[in-house]
Amino acid sequence: MGLMRQVLGESFGLFRQVKLSRPLGMRVRNASLVRSKAFVNGIWKGAASGEEFAVINPADGEAIGSVPNMNENDALEAVGAAYDSFLQWQETTAKERSHHLRKWFDVLQKNQDELAKIITAESGKPLKEAAGEVAYGNSFIEWFSEEARRIHGEVIDSPIKSKEMIFIRRPIGVTALITPWNFPIAMITRKAGAALAAGCTCVVKPAEDTPLTALALAALAEESGLPAGVFNVVTSGRDNAPLIGKSFCESPLVAGISFTGSTEVGKLLYKMCAKGVKRLSLELGGNAPFIVFKNADIGKAVQGAIASKFRNCGQTCVSANRLFVEEEMYDEFAGKFKEAMKAQLILGNGGDGVSTMGPLINDAQTKKVDGIVQDAVKKGARILLGGKKASSVGDRFFEPTLIADVDPRMLCYNEEIFGPIAVLIKFKNEEEVLRLANHTKRGLAGYFFSNDIAQIWRVAKKLEVGMVGINEGIISSAEAAFGGIKESGLGREGSHYGIEEFTYIKYLCFGNL
Ligand code: SIN
């Protein structure tokens, strides 16, 4: 106990020795952003057990810091604090909450560069991409500072003269926000911005791989004057994460859970939430079709595919997972796409200012991606580019890979790849591609490139997904309603709909008037 625990890979039976290096705090100008304690009720604190775990830079395997390995009791203490704070926070006016969020946004903006460095260090994404994520992440706090003032009720015409009927919106209460490592800031702000704007308080449980960004967010929340207990962050390693999730689902003080992550974990949370009939918002895995019709602008389609497929090294839920290309255009698209990949994707340590693609997040993910490529080759697919680990760059780097002649028997066709692997599938006509694209349990995002307006409207309506990029590979923004259908999730984040996950409608009936 009290010893620093290296939990990376622990769940796969690996217990790797890590090189200790200069801690990240020494490399970030505003060192107060790099925290080694969790943030509960406005206090920086360790796990009651004293346990910690190391945070690893996936680009070089160096330990860049350590944070508390909290357990379910620590998490429930945070829930209790969030509940006490909720009793006051729900009484604030929309204007007050809006001002609080705006102040948080302002300090987040002031610290953009530092936040980007932290993201690069713990997630491996190149600095420029990390800076883009910070701008994206911060924009949710700005957006919801504005939406806070637009949460309205309704007055309904009563059928009875002596009665008046009103609907008001109320915050649901304490929310537990369980967030992933692929967008260490944006997946927190997209949830927390909406929750706080609605009048809820929250306990954030960031992913084990990227807790430092979450703690930096907490440090800036504190600096901005957000009241204690409104925004809490509990950190834990993989070993404690399942019990923390369970305790959130079972605590009577938690009103709702918002989770972004794998479909498997999402289903578990769904099941566990049934007991307490909790509000649940799930943003789960995708298997996005990316369709190029023969009449498309091929240059735009290639660029759209590069942007969608290789954003964050392919570790994005909305990433193009299956690239369907109409047969007349297949060879030309494959050739141009391969050249664009070679020219634009430079693997390397994200902090070097040159590389455009970083490592995979950890050893388990690297192994999974490697297995997916090998499976495709074994079943007859053709590697057009890459195809193996880029060990000369680092242990967790994978070559940008292009695979042709993929078919539905292959893992890469059915599973969310979450890596820099683009897979090409030839199709004959619109009817066939819609059938193939929709033949999946997932339904998060879909993309297609076409210049035929009638086809655009038909395909946009028929794709079984929650979000569609039409002649566009990047669809995310604070204003957008982000979310899926089928096994890709429940609810919407961002946009004005994001607020709905954190409010309920209360019906007031005034009688004997
Ligand atoms: C995700 O991968 O879940 C998030 C991507 C985005 O917000 O654009």
Stated pTM of the model: 0.95
Say if residue 21 is exposed, middle or buried (CB neighbours under 10 Å; 0-12, 13-18, 19+).
middle
183 pocket-lining for ligand 1 (C-beta < 6 Å): yes
- Whose CA is closest to atom 8 on ligand 1? 476
282 pocket-lining for ligand 1 (C-beta < 6 Å): no
Cβ atoms within 10 A of the Cβ of 275, count?
9
Residues 6+ apart with CB under 8 A from 128: 356
**pLDDT given for residue 465 in this prediction:** 98
- Structure-token pair, residue 286: 């995708």
- Structure-token pair, residue 251: 């605590």
Atom of ligand 1 nearest to the CA of 190: 7
**pLDDT given for residue 21 in this prediction:** 56
Q: Which of 476, 488, 492, 495 to mutate to test the pocket of ligand 1 (most atoms within 8 A of CB)?
A: 476
Look up tokens 């990029």; give the residue: 469
Compute the distance between CA of residue 387 and CA of residue 393 in angstroms, rounded to an integer. Answer: 15
Q: Which of 114, 147, 283, 487 is catalytic?
A: 283
**Which residue from 148, 172, 174, 170 is spatially nearest to 231, judged by alpha carbons?**
174
Look up tokens 């009875």; give the residue: 160
- Structure-token pair, residue 430: 């619109």
- Whose CA is closest to atom 7 on ligand 1? 476
**pLDDT given for residue 11 in this prediction:** 35
**183 C-alpha to ligand 1 centroid (Å):** 7
What is the widest separation between alpha-carbon atoms in the chain? 80
Q: Are 16 and 23 in contact (CB under 8 A)?
A: no
Q: Which amino acid is at 428?
A: K
Say if residue 60 is exposed, middle or buried (CB neighbours under 10 Å; 0-12, 13-18, 19+).
middle
**316 C-alpha to ligand 1 centroid (Å):** 6
Atom of ligand 1 nearest to the CA of 475: 8
Cβ atoms within 10 A of the Cβ of 479, count?
10
Q: Are 235 and 38 in contact (CB under 8 A)?
A: yes
Atom of ligand 1 nearest to the CA of 444: 3
User: Is position 200 annotated as part of the catalytic site?
Assistant: no
User: Is position 129 annotated as part of the catalytic site?
Assistant: no
260 pocket-lining for ligand 1 (C-beta < 6 Å): yes
316 pocket-lining for ligand 1 (C-beta < 6 Å): yes
Compute the distance between CA of residue 394 and CA of residue 406 in angstroms, rounded to an integer. Answer: 28
Alpha helices in 65-180 (DSSP H): 72-89, 94-110, 112-123, 127-147
465 pocket-lining for ligand 1 (C-beta < 6 Å): no
- Whose CA is closest to atom 6 on ligand 1? 476
**pLDDT given for residue 23 in this prediction:** 72
Q: Are 116 and 134 in contact (CB under 8 A)?
A: yes
182 pocket-lining for ligand 1 (C-beta < 6 Å): yes
**Over the Cα atoms of the chain, what is R_g?**
23
Exposure class string for 246-266: b at 16+ Cβ within 10 A, else e: ebbbebebbbbbbbbbebebb
What is the set of domains in the chain, with CATH numbers?
70-284+490-505 (3.40.605.10), 288-477 (3.40.309.10)
**pLDDT given for residue 508 in this prediction:** 98
**pLDDT given for residue 414 in this prediction:** 95
**317 C-alpha to ligand 1 centroid (Å):** 6
- Whose CA is closest to atom 3 on ligand 1? 317
**Which three-class secondary structure state does DSSP give residue 183?**
coil
Atom of ligand 1 nearest to the CA of 482: 7
**Nearest-5° Cα angle at 140, 491 to 254:** 50
Q: Are 482 and 190 in contact (CB under 8 A)?
A: yes
Phi-psi region of 489 (alpha: psi -120 to 50; beta: other; left: phi over 0): left
DSSP code of 398? Answer: B
- Structure-token pair, residue 39: 């943030």
**93 C-alpha to ligand 1 centroid (Å):** 31
DSSP code of 58? Answer: T
Q: Which of 138, 179, 182 to mutate to test the pocket of ligand 1 (most atoms within 8 A of CB)?
A: 182
Atom of ligand 1 nearest to the CA of 494: 7
317 pocket-lining for ligand 1 (C-beta < 6 Å): yes
**Which residue from 228, 176, 165, 164 is spatially nearest to 200, judged by alpha carbons?**
176
CA 53 to chain centre: 22
Look up tokens 């999946």; give the residue: 440
End-to-end CA distance of the chain: 66
Q: Which of 309, 482, 493 to mutate to test the pocket of ligand 1 (most atoms within 8 A of CB)?
A: 482
Say if residue 321 is exposed, middle or buried (CB neighbours under 10 Å; 0-12, 13-18, 19+).
buried
Q: Are 196 and 204 in contact (CB under 8 A)?
A: no
- Structure-token pair, residue 6: 């290296």
- Structure-token pair, residue 237: 């390693």
Atom of ligand 1 nearest to the CA of 182: 2
**pLDDT given for residue 350 in this prediction:** 85
Residues 6+ apart with CB under 8 A from 51: 1, 2, 3, 5, 68, 69
pLDDT (tens place) for every residue of the chain, 513 residues total: 233 333 323 332 222 333 445 678 767 778 899 999 999 999 999 999 999 999 999 999 999 999 999 999 999 999 999 999 999 999 999 999 999 999 999 999 999 999 999 999 999 999 999 999 999 999 999 999 999 999 999 999 999 999 999 999 999 999 999 999 999 999 999 999 999 999 999 999 999 999 999 999 999 999 999 999 999 999 999 999 999 999 999 999 999 999 999 999 999 999 999 999 999 999 999 999 999 999 999 999 999 999 999 999 999 999 999 999 999 999 999 999 999 999 999 999 988 889 999 999 999 999 999 999 999 999 999 999 999 999 999 999 999 999 999 999 999 999 999 999 999 999 999 999 999 999 999 999 999 999 999 999 999 999 999 999 999 999 999 999 999 999 999 999 999 999 999 999 999 999 999
**pLDDT given for residue 27 in this prediction:** 76
**pLDDT given for residue 359 in this prediction:** 98
**256 C-alpha to ligand 1 centroid (Å):** 21
Q: For the residues of 325-370, what is the DSSP string, one character each?
A: EETTTHHHHHHHHHHHHHHH--BS-GGGSS-SB---SSHHHHHHHH
